[in-house]
Structure 1
Amino acid sequence: MYYVPIDSLRAQVARAQDHHHAVLADHLVFRSERKSSREFQDLFAITAVRERFLEPLAIGPETVVSIDASTFQQASIEPIPGNMTDTVAYGNRLFTTSDAGVFETQFDSRFDTQSPLLQVHTAPATAIVAGNGQFAASLGEVGLVTREVGFGDGDQWVDSVRDRVLETLAPYSRSVTRSSVHLVNYGESPVPDFIRATTQIERRANGFTETIVTDFDEPASLDQSLREVIGNHLTVDEVRAGEGFEVLGNANYRLLLLIGHEVRVLNMLARRDRALRVDPYRKIDVGQTMPNPFAHALSTQALRSGFLVEHVGGVHVLGDSGVTELADELVVQARTFPNSRRYVDTVILVREHSLDLVGFIDIDP
């Protein structure tokens, strides 16, 4: 496994273009959380500043940087067996799923010695998420499993996790996503289940605090509440069978649905003192941008800007600003990082011969 340091990419953008492009790349791609800050928004509200900042994008919104092999650095971890299906970084941990199981290792460039690879489970796995002190993995018929993350450091990190026990949250799981601290399990039914988390605040040795998940509830069904939103003309059994609609995915507490040819966003309301339910939020007008938008959809991922939809005809972002086309052809893989601190609104598109890093910013006409 190889990685490219962000500082190296930023320097290459500056060399390929100029310092202005490097600053744009910083705020829109490499540190996309910055554009949400109050300071950035205050500056961006000044017309002259906004126009000057975005000036290079008016000339050409795409910057091509050629990266030679010397830029890549090999991670000091053991090779991961099988064909990889998903991976997520959390702290100094790297969790990976493949058709050979679930694996955990330490990824920290400060340590040059090879980090051991811990096999968490031997069953083929399709998806994994991590955050708030827990990870969860989809193992198909084996179920949805979770375990506390150990935060040991250095060469002895494996001692902090070796004896931790996996807990099964659901009997079947084809995919899993996060909704804030909670989990959304996509199982046998077309309608996912919501799994509430119980949390507490913990203070780390470095002085930082983090909300830690201490327990998960039993999976809660969205069937009845979804039926009330879609239409009571459908029975609960028809909703469970996915008659007339398709749940495409979720971004935090927002659920993306295709009802006939109409795209709708619903809010999942998961307050502890009330029953779980979904409420109408809004419709997304795809217009003529996507004449057959979700035929053969491959994945739907969360962005701060909305939803990333990957399908056989390309990749599109659906959000408050409408529909944005990122690719008009099938890509090898599209990836977002909704739980990252720095890359909350950054997209990676892996193509056959290139890698696209995409950032976003709303511009009022």
Structure 2
Amino acid sequence: MMDIRRLVLRIPGQWEDAWLYRGNLIVWDRHGAIYYVPVDKLRASAIHASDRHHGVLADHLVLRSERKSSLEFQDVLAIPSIRREFFSPLKAEPEVVISITPTVLRLASIEPIPGNITDTVVYGNRIFATSDAGVYETQFDSRYDEPSPVLQVIDAPATAVVAGNGQFAASLGDLGLISREVGFGDGDQWIRSAKNASVETLAPYSRNVTRSSVHLLNYGVDPIPDFIRATTRIDRRENGFQESIVTKFHQPSSLLQSLRGVMSEELTVDEMTAGDRFEVLGNANYRLLVRFGSKVQVLNLRAFQNQPLRVNQDRRIDVGKMMTRPIRHAMSTQALRSGFLVEHTGGVHILNDSGVIELTKELVVQARTFPNSRRYVDTVVLVREECLDLVGFVDLAQ
């Protein structure tokens, strides 16, 4: 049985969204202004607000410095007596909150994002944001913090944006799903490359878009999203970094045929296409969260190069036994190293092989995870009505 304890770094204020990117926390207020604070300063603020022991725990659970920890440290922490002492400040309560003053945040030299923000993503020193006024792009680099303009990519309301592998994509409702290459470069180079890049329409309608590895899932009118396969190449840069770069997105194809092979014993084709008994609630990378009738199940989506799409059941995660309240509608599903996060009308929960972790019973303004980061792979950001929480967790029963 799990014994989950949460450590929260809380920044009071009315915020709209937040991202942990490299060594910084980037935050949007509800007027579209962008703030940031280096992670090292957050760590120092946590120590100042509590003590060094809590600061080290925040560093380990929230800010995730264990990426740089030695194997020797991991071996030492595996000793039961040392592990008990290390996590001892968390034993008294299920959740320990360390409040950090909002004055640690610095206003970035970037123009506010126009309109009411609906989604954001940070990738390759670029910030992409969607709002009811359009799709926007700007540059962020805390090393210099030089003034950066906000470029309007699309002049139309947008609901969602994703970015990675050299491309970004955005949902524009009736105007469709669009994508464009991300031009890398510093200074004014990014502006020139962004203005010269052509925008491609991938689908005629899109209410939401998510990533599954390098591929896309487009959520449209139907209860089942379309799968958009990507062709990639390996890009090696001068600094030694290499990345799979998307060179082409193929035509959208329905997941219906793939899902029928898994769900045929439970539902008829008509029930799957109608949506009253069957719906794909969302996906977290390669995992699909599907509802059929009153049941919710996790399926795995596999799309290897030059191989047909495969869907099979994830037998390790039993949602029915984990959730005390059924998931009827998911606002977002996001990947974590230890499982995946579900933001729904009953709160925010993490589902993994061991069980369910409840982060909150309340609706939140925004929930974020960072599965593509090497550092914050199990950190969750919850933007609440009156504060911003950075949440780390540990199972003391392990």
Q: TM-score, normalised by structure 1?
A: 0.91
Q: Please, which runs of 5 or more residues in structure 2 have no aligned partner?
A: 1-33
Work out whether 1:331 is the aligned partner of 2:364.
yes
Compared CA separation, residues 56 and 67, structure 1 to 2 (3 A):
closer
* Selected match of 1:174 from 179, 193, 207: 207
Equivalent residue for 2:137? 104
Map 1:1-365 → 2, pairs under 5 A = 1-31=34-64, 34=67, 42-232=75-265, 234-282=267-315, 284-286=317-319, 290-365=323-398
Q: Please, which runs of 5 or more residues in structure 1 have no aligned partner?
A: none
* Corresponding residue SS for 2:217: strand
CA displacement 1:287-313 (0-9 Å, x = unmatched): 686443313433222222222222233
**Contact (CA 8 Å) 1:346, 1:358: kept in 2 or not?**
yes
Higher mean C-alpha deviation, range 167-176 or range 153-162: 153-162
Q: TM-score, normalised by structure 2?
A: 0.84
Compared CA separation, residues 120 and 40, structure 1 to 2 (3 A):
farther
**Contact (CA 8 Å) 1:28, 1:35: kept in 2 or not?**
no
The separation in 2 between residues aligned to 1:217 and 1:39, in whole angstroms, is: 47
- Could you say which structure has the greater relative contact order, defined with CA pairs below 8 angstroms and 6 or more residues apart? 2
What amino acid sits opposite 2:315 in the alignment?
Answer: R
Compared CA separation, residues 43 and 329, structure 1 to 2 (3 A):
same
**Contact (CA 8 Å) 2:334, 2:341: kept in 1 or not?**
yes
**Contact (CA 8 Å) 2:230, 2:249: kept in 1 or not?**
yes
**Contact (CA 8 Å) 1:195, 1:218: kept in 2 or not?**
yes
Please list every run of at least 4 consecutive aligned residues from structure 1 whose deviation after the TM superposition is greater than 6 angstroms. Answer: 35-40
Compared CA separation, residues 90 and 39, structure 1 to 2 (3 A):
farther
* Corresponding residue SS for 1:59: coil
CA displacement 1:11-53 (0-9 Å, x = unmatched): 1111222222222222221127739996665444333343233
The separation in 1 between residues aligned to 2:264 and 2:176, in whole angstroms, is: 31
**Contact (CA 8 Å) 2:76, 2:82: kept in 1 or not?**
yes
* Corresponding residue SS for 2:314: strand
The separation in 1 between residues aligned to 2:132 and 2:183, in whole angstroms, is: 24
**Contact (CA 8 Å) 2:382, 2:388: kept in 1 or not?**
yes
* Corresponding residue SS for 1:310: strand
Higher mean C-alpha deviation, range 41-50 or range 308-317: 41-50
